[in-house]
Structure 1
């Protein structure tokens, strides 16, 4: 087993708060200071991105913490340029820690003469000098196969299960709901973890971005419904599904747990005016002030999980051990005290 003594972290501008949280948690786990590498990531007047690393990284095990969230192109270029800078500085290994992997929704051709952008991004990351990728809840599992380098895909479900058990004392009245047929496996996995029932909202689109019809598969009458999904963008589908569950299905309450809160455009206003009692997202994407100020939206931390995953990768130990809440429970003890 390798030692993590040469481990170093470096952060782009996408989510500095998460990077700082990961560094602090790793300091606790290791019992020795873990600091972010001293570097500057800035833009010239024409918006070209420039990176300079001030710390010596020769023979170091480097981890770049950078979500490729909005602005996706800028954050992606920062990641690529940081990887190139580290590789040219003789880093021993470069791991890209991408809590939210942008372009993941473009994982297949949807019409003639359209790209598979997720594959293109995977190629760019590998060509930039990245040796390994650590991410969470990829929109489509097959994206792991787009890379010719190892990819560790963590899951928010164990963290959500810990939170749900803390927030909903009576799990016998809870039903987990998938907002579409494609997310059934994700919803089933969470339902199994908390011992809850499962329902599905089947949606049919007339064209991209427009929902023609929605119907409920399963009984949700007088149930506390928890919608689970990987991405919430403009929140249109989420809010319509919540309304359908309550008004037509007879649900007592509707909550949502979303891995990646993109929350663009009218999302916050829609959530504030919806029947949703709460929306829980992770901090894979740094949220602007309007999201932080909305009382119905709550953010759960993924820093502890990523900190342990980084240590495991550096030590050459198992990352899949973090797929269950029995392992994560002690790591999240400060947030969810054991009963």
Structure 2
């Protein structure tokens, strides 16, 4: 964006409490706080809330929470009795802290935008992934886009349409618990093709790794894993670097530690995507037109 980063002092007290002090005046300014709420989710969410409160109390004209990765987004409905819908709770906290609007990238499910009682701008990291895949110059006749589960079919279909209108395949699985998946069947043809597996996030990599093993078994010559959010909870690194994938392509919506890098990993930046969107929001322009 060609701007200097605002100065802020964030520290922890001995008991773990978060302290925030702005190091420059924001009175009458439009403030954009960039903070993914990824691992450690609780720490980063609380830090965001305290930063919003600090800006509000410093008389900022408006506060926009720019959340490249929205933690707790998977808890967006009740699948069993007596469960919490934590995505709604997190949205309430951000709203009550004083945010005027939210900018998020690839929510786990689009309906989560409705959990916020303030305007939400939802952008997709798929544009960054598509640009990179286009640079690989893979023959369009060899491509097939694969959804690692039935729930991601709409996302994969839209991605396939933009990727030379590639055919679609679906991995059918049964989930027996959190972070536990069992692959059952493959719907579609991948024999002799370059398979691009697309998901919104990679957490423990169980789903996408089991899917990749099935694709190789069904005759795929190469498998690429694409995801906006690299959560990478253990044992994700071991699974992703096991030789199943030609490349694992992610974005930097979640900052990765140096120990999380491996030879097949490609990390793409969403800086331009978010920067252009912020300019549109700030100037009162259409965000959707930015991605036409």
Q: How high is the TM-score relative to the length of structure 2?
A: 0.97
Q: CA deviation at 1:101?
A: 0.2
> How many residue pairs are counted as aligned between the two chains?
291
Contact in 2 for aligned 1:104/1:139 (Cα 8 Å): yes
Match 1:306 to one of 259, 274, 286: 274
Q: CA deviation at 1:198?
A: 0.7
Q: CA deviation at 1:209?
A: 3.1
Q: 1:213/1:280 Cα in 2 relative to 1: closer, same or farther (>3 Å)?
A: closer
Q: CA deviation at 1:75?
A: 0.4
Name the residue aligned to 1:15: none
**RMSD of aligned alpha carbons:** 1.0
Contact in 2 for aligned 1:243/1:275 (Cα 8 Å): yes
Contact in 1 for aligned 2:172/2:184 (Cα 8 Å): yes
Q: Is 1:141 the counterpart of 2:141 in the alignment?
A: no
Deviations 1:192-219 (A, max 9, x none): 0012111100101233333344210001
Cα separation, 2, equivalents of 1:223 and 1:168:
14
Contact in 1 for aligned 2:183/2:211 (Cα 8 Å): no
Q: Is 1:155 the counterpart of 2:112 in the alignment?
A: no
Query: Superposed, which structure 2 residues align to 1:165-314 within 5 Å?
Result: 165-195=134-164, 196-247=166-217, 249-292=218-261, 294-314=262-282
Cα separation, 2, equivalents of 1:305 and 1:211:
32
Bigger shift: residues 119-128 or 204-213: 204-213
Name the residue aligned to 1:88: 57
Q: Is 1:127 the counterpart of 2:96 in the alignment?
A: yes
Contact in 2 for aligned 1:305/1:322 (Cα 8 Å): no
Cα separation, 2, equivalents of 1:226 and 1:311:
32
Contact in 1 for aligned 2:248/2:265 (Cα 8 Å): yes
Bigger shift: residues 206-215 or 155-164: 206-215
Contact in 2 for aligned 1:165/1:171 (Cα 8 Å): no
- Structure 2: where are the runs of 5+ without partners? none
Contact in 2 for aligned 1:154/1:322 (Cα 8 Å): no
Q: CA deviation at 1:156?
A: 1.4
Cα separation, 2, equivalents of 1:78 and 1:219:
46
Q: CA deviation at 1:319?
A: 1.0
